[in-house]
Amino acid sequence: MKRTKKVYPNDFRTKAGFFTISWIHGFATVVFSLFMQFLTDYSGIDEAVGKVGFAAAFGTVLLLVTRIVDAVDDPLQGWIMDSAKECKFGKYRKFTLWSIIMCGSGIAIMFSIPQVIKSTPVLLAIWVFVGYLLYEMGYAFNGTSALIQKSTYDPNIRSKLTSLLRMGIILSVVPASFFIPIATAVNSAIGNMGKAFSLTCIGVTIFSCILSLVGTICVKEPYRPVSKAGGTENGGKISVKEIWGMLKTNKPLWVTAIANFVNIGYAISTAVLVYFLKWFYCADMATGAVDEIRYASIYAIYGAISIIPAFLTPLIASWVVKKFGTIDRAARGLVLTQGVIMGVIFVLYVLGILQMNPLIYIVLIFLSAIPANLAVIPSSLMWTECADYAEYTSGKNMTALVNAVNNVLAKAQTAISTVLPGILLIVVGYSVNSETGAYAGDLTKLPSMVRNITLMNTLVPMVVCIVSWAIFKFFYPITQETREKMTAELIKKHEEEQTQAEGQS
């Protein structure tokens, strides 16, 4: 029996494109979480400036300032994308192309600080800020969410494409998950951990950019010609009044935004995890000496185990969402499960069991990663549904602006998750000898720093997961009836627009 050929957007080329289109974004996001540790532990900034604790203060202040810039920059870029004209290459696809180049260039610059610049704070700030700005603008111009929303309204196909996108991103972060062991191996050959960080980052960045560019070429974006009837998404640039109206009336958007923002525990846990593993399990509190081989080994085990649920969960995410019935039920159920597991980790810490063996922590983090990774798919679909709702109520496609809200909140999470540990590091005068890896600050403050980092890594995630669940549970307004009505009207709207445009051409 002859197999029926699958058509767009369910064809092989489109699926392959979405699988690789965001490889650079995935790698860049995860490796950026190591940037603070790169500054404090491996860049040699403290030695170059000649001041203990300078790198920690510099990184905290600079990253906070850059996140403030994001609050203005992301919505502006979203408006630019939504207001752009349709073209044969694609309205959102052309921005994704630039996104890949800018994102890759920015990350490479940030992790490659020339020695001559490190000793001059002003030049150092300019260098890092330029690199971050390129990375941030590139990330904001990523139009993959808009491409999925525009390609189909079929929830099953959307789920498939989102799962493939997620699987590709997960594969792209494998080098980032093993970044410390890889850099340590490179360091054994060149004898400079700072340069090892830079070389590893640049090599993986180039590879990821190439794959993302190939993915962008493979993904076809539906062309919606401008209708002279006007009043639709192609009827000109989106006005400030229309943006304000969409933000004011889009309750699903704000419920989703607040629930995801409140669930900041994962971002904080990720920000402090490298410090937690290093100082909780690998350091001598009396001398400040760190067993770098043990640290690299533990990090490698963590990286290997953590990547398993990240890779496997997208394969069953669609099935899990179906079992829950709706995407909002799936999101809240999974976040609650994650919170319960983080609560178990906190209890074991209080009882003194967590300290006995790092494998206890790693196994529990593995278990918490399963619902956390599964929740990414329904959460992404909820943002897409918020974009549908914006178009349904306003008549214009504002997917990039909706995604900009998501980006701003995600970066606000990152800012807070960076600033809180950063403040902690500043208070204790955190400093590390970049050559020996030993603690160079006040040793009497080291135990309290490790205790506070541990609380950030256990208690905080438990609390915020429970609060996030409650927000999803009691406030998300879209029912299944509303969902079906909205989808039917949007499909009808685009069919009428296409018919009008073809009749006028």
Classify residue 186: in a domain, yes or no: yes
Give a yes or no: residue 208 inside a domain.
yes
Q: pLDDT digits over 448-482, tens only? A: 888 888 888 888 888 988 999 999 889 988 888 88
Token output for 88: 């044969």
Nearest Cα to Cα of residue 331 among 236, 222, 258, 225? 258
Q: How far is CA 335 from the centre of its chain?
A: 17
150 neighbors 399 (Cβ within 8 angstroms): yes
Q: How far apart are CA 491 and CA 495, in angstroms?
A: 6
What is the structure's pLDDT at 48? 86
What are the beta bridge partners of residue 290? 283
Residue 308: C-alpha distances to residues 60, 305, 313, 376, 450 (Å): 32, 6, 8, 15, 28
| Amino acid making up residue 141 | F
**Does 2 reside within a domain?**
no
SS3 436: coil
The tally of CA atoms less than 13 A away on the side-chain side of residue 457 is 26
β partners of residue 292: none
The whole-angstrom separation of Cα 295 and Cα 270 is 16
Biggest distance spanned by C-alpha atoms of the chain: 80
List, in order, residues 6 or more apart from 470 with CB less than 8 Å away. Answer: none
Rounded CA-CA distance 365/340 in Å is: 12
User: Given this model, what pLDDT does residue 109 score?
Assistant: 94
Q: Can you name the residues that pair with 118 across neighbouring β-strands?
A: none
**In one letter, which amino acid is 299?**
Y
Cβ atoms of 193 and 292 closer than 8 Å: no
Over the chain (505 residues), what is each successive 10-residue block's mean pLDDT?
A: 68 90 88 83 85 82 73 71 79 90 94 89 90 87 83 80 83 80 86 86 93 92 60 53 76 86 75 83 85 85 79 78 87 91 91 89 88 84 86 79 76 72 79 75 83 86 90 88 86 75 59
Per-position DSSP letters for 10-41, written without gaps between them: SSHHHHHHHHHTTHHHHHHHHHHTTHHHIIII
- Looking at residue 330, its amino acid is A
User: Is 325 part of a structural domain of the chain?
Assistant: yes
Cβ burial, residue 279 (10 Å; 0-12/13-18/19+)? buried
Residue with tokens 């003194």: 352
- Considering the entire predicted model, what is its pTM? 0.64
Check residue 4 and give its pLDDT: 61
Structure token pair of residue 210: 């190439």
Q: How far apart are CA 363 and CA 492, in angstroms?
A: 49
Residue 5 lies in a domain: no
For residue 488, the model assigns a pLDDT of 86
- Residue 474 included in any domain: yes
Query: What are 218-251's pLDDT values in tens digits?
Result: 998 887 665 444 444 444 566 677 777 777 788 8
- CA 457, distance to chain mean position in Å, is 18
For position 484, which CATH number holds? 1.20.1250.20
Half-sphere exposure of 45 (CA within 13 A, CB side): 30
Q: Is position 414 within any domain?
A: yes
d(CA 344, CA 489): 46
pLDDT of residue 212: 94
Domain residues for 142?
12-218+228-504
CA 95/CA 91 separation, integer angstroms: 8
Question: Which two three-digit tokens encode residue 179?
Answer: 């970044």
The answer to whether 197 and 38 have CB atoms below 8 angstroms apart is: yes
Instruction: Check: CB of residue 275 under 8 Å from CB of residue 299.
Output: no
User: Is residue 4 situated within a structural domain?
Assistant: no
Total number of domains constituting the chain? 1
pLDDT at 233: 41
pLDDT at 502: 60
What was the pLDDT predicted at 504?
59
Question: How would DSSP label each residue in 414-426?
Answer: HHHHHHHHHHHHH
So what's the pLDDT on residue 231? Answer: 42
